[in-house]
Structure 1
Amino acid sequence: MPLLTVNHLKKIYTTRFGGNQVQALSDVTFSVEEGEYVAIMGESGSGKTTLLNILASLDQPTSGSVILNNVELGSIPDRQLSAFRRENLGFVFQDFNLLDTFSLYDNIALPLVLSRRTPKEIQRRLLPLAQMLGIDALLKKYPYEVSGGQKQRAAVARALITDPQIVLADEPTGALDSKSTDSLLRIFEEINRMGQTIFMVTHSLKAASHANRVLFIKDGVVFHQLYKGAASNEEMYQHISDALTVLATGGKNGE
């Protein structure tokens, strides 16, 4: 059984005074197996961000369902949603979303602090993660004292510290230079090899080429998908580029 199942998602936004409706998602259906590394791509306005927000339980679909490890997100009471997100979902954002008044250690520890874990348990989980990500010497520093790549490593550590069912990454390389991008993508590949499921929204062909599968969304539906298989990152990059060309020129669904 898939870890994540998305069934016929539709999302319609109504303008403030109810005069106009915007259909962000029309009929999105796909699944993600445990341990997969999936990227989703599409033009601006295609519904990627809306989809990610629904998967993160930050927004509700107009119809359809999202099931994570046999739990339908729509069935979770509002008062339990924050705890569900904290315990089951890891988030990596383009702009890092670190608190400048917290050290890197405290930023990474925050999900466990909110879950009322003991300082000893937090340290036991946090230090090996920081070492793996190469930021163990920076834990006393504040976000404004470190580079963008180091901030993003701290954000990855924060996403992983709860041992989430799935990591949701929103343009994780968008604010990084090329060297930091390459480093982060190697980290994503490494944690995926360790069994972590990753679902990433990206505009970057380079970032998407590191995923095992790429979904393409257009006009609120999944238009096409590519499996990496035995292809190299460079070959996958070219396959994605070709698919985006078809997407932009109006090829038929599934071609």
Structure 2
Amino acid sequence: MALLEVRDLKKIYSSRFSGTQVQALDNVNFDVQEGEFVAIMGESGSGKTTLLNILAALDRPTAGKVLLNGRDLGKERAAFRRSHLGFVFQDFNLLDTFTNKDNALLPLVLAKEKYPVMMKKLTPLAETLGISSILKKYPYEVSGGQKQRVSIARALITNPEILLADEPTGALDSRSSEDVLNLFTRINQEGQTILMVTHSMKAASYAGRVLFIKDGRVFHQIYKGDRSSSEFYEDISRTLTMMSRKGERA
């Protein structure tokens, strides 16, 4: 059984005023195996953000379901989702009135963990992410790359079954982006399952598989295999070009 199963997913948005309907997702099906690093790509309006929001249980599908280890996410309580899913946002979503340590610990605070237990989890994670020295600082006192590392710590602190990332390098400069992508690669190699939505071909080239979404459907997928990131980048570029040409012919 796959770790994440997406079955016959549909999402239709209806306008209250005009009565028109827009189908954002149309019969989406795919699996993510434990330990995979999967990227999802597509043009603006393709449905990839809607898909990610449904996978994160932030939105509900019109039809279909999402199963995490066989459990229907749409029917689970918020506490289950908080414990089993980690989410990394493009704009970090850190609280400026909290220290970086308090931001990273927030999911455990909400779960009412005891402080010694929380610190036992945070200390090795902070070392892995290279944020030990900035835990006492506030988000506005550190760089964008450091903020994203804190948000990754917050996402990983509950040891989630899957880490979801929405354009995690979108607000970063090239050097910070590469640092975050190398970090994702390392934690994936240690066993963390990752699903990332991105516009960036470079970011996608770090994944082991890329799913391409077009007009609300899974259009194509490619696997990295034994290729280098630069070779995979070229394959991603060719696929995106093919998708755009098919759109022109249509």
Using the size of structure 2 for normalisation, the TM-score is 0.97
* Structure 2 partner of 1:235: 231
Q: Which amino acid is the alignment partner of residue 148 of structure 1?
A: G
* Structure 1 partner of 2:51: 51
Q: How large is the Cα RMSD of the aligned pairs?
A: 0.8
Shift of 1:18: 5.5
What's the secondary structure of 1:250's corresponding residue?
helix
- Provide the aligned length of Structure 1 versus Structure 2: 247
Q: Which amino acid is the alignment partner of residue 54 of structure 1?
A: I
What's the secondary structure of 2:158's corresponding residue?
coil
Q: Which amino acid is the alignment partner of residue 148 of structure 2?
A: Q
Please give the alpha-carbon distance, in whole angstroms, between the structure 2 residues aligned to 1:121 and 1:250: 54
1:139 aligns with 2:135: yes
Please give the alpha-carbon distance, in whole angstroms, between the structure 1 residues aligned to 2:153 and 2:243: 35
Using the size of structure 1 for normalisation, the TM-score is 0.95
Shift of 1:19: 1.2
* Structure 1 partner of 2:41: 41
* Structure 1 partner of 2:65: 65
Listed one character per residue, the Cα deviations across residues 121-164 of structure 1 (whole Å, up to 9, x for unaligned) are: 00000011111111101000000000000000000111100000
* Structure 1 partner of 2:105: 109
Please give the alpha-carbon distance, in whole angstroms, between the structure 2 residues aligned to 1:101 and 1:107: 9
* Structure 2 partner of 1:175: 171
* Structure 1 partner of 2:145: 149
Q: Percent identity, aligned pairs only? A: 65
Listed one character per residue, the Cα deviations across residues 212-232 of structure 1 (whole Å, up to 9, x for unaligned) are: 000000011000000000010
Please give the alpha-carbon distance, in whole angstroms, between the structure 2 residues aligned to 1:69 and 1:28: 18
1:225 aligns with 2:241: no
- Give runs of ≥4 in structure 1 deviating > 4 Å: none
Runs of at least 5 residues in structure 2 that lack an aligned partner in the other structure: none
The answer to whether the Cα contact below 8 Å between 2:107 and 2:154 also exists between their aligned partners in 1 is: yes
What's the secondary structure of 2:127's corresponding residue?
helix
Listed one character per residue, the Cα deviations across residues 192-220 of structure 1 (whole Å, up to 9, x for unaligned) are: 00000000000000100000000000011
| Aligned counterparts, 1:77-96, within 5 A | 80=77, 82-96=78-92
* Structure 2 partner of 1:16: 16
Listed one character per residue, the Cα deviations across residues 80-128 of structure 1 (whole Å, up to 9, x for unaligned) are: 2x21221000010100000000000000000000000000000000011
Runs of at least 5 residues in structure 1 that lack an aligned partner in the other structure: none
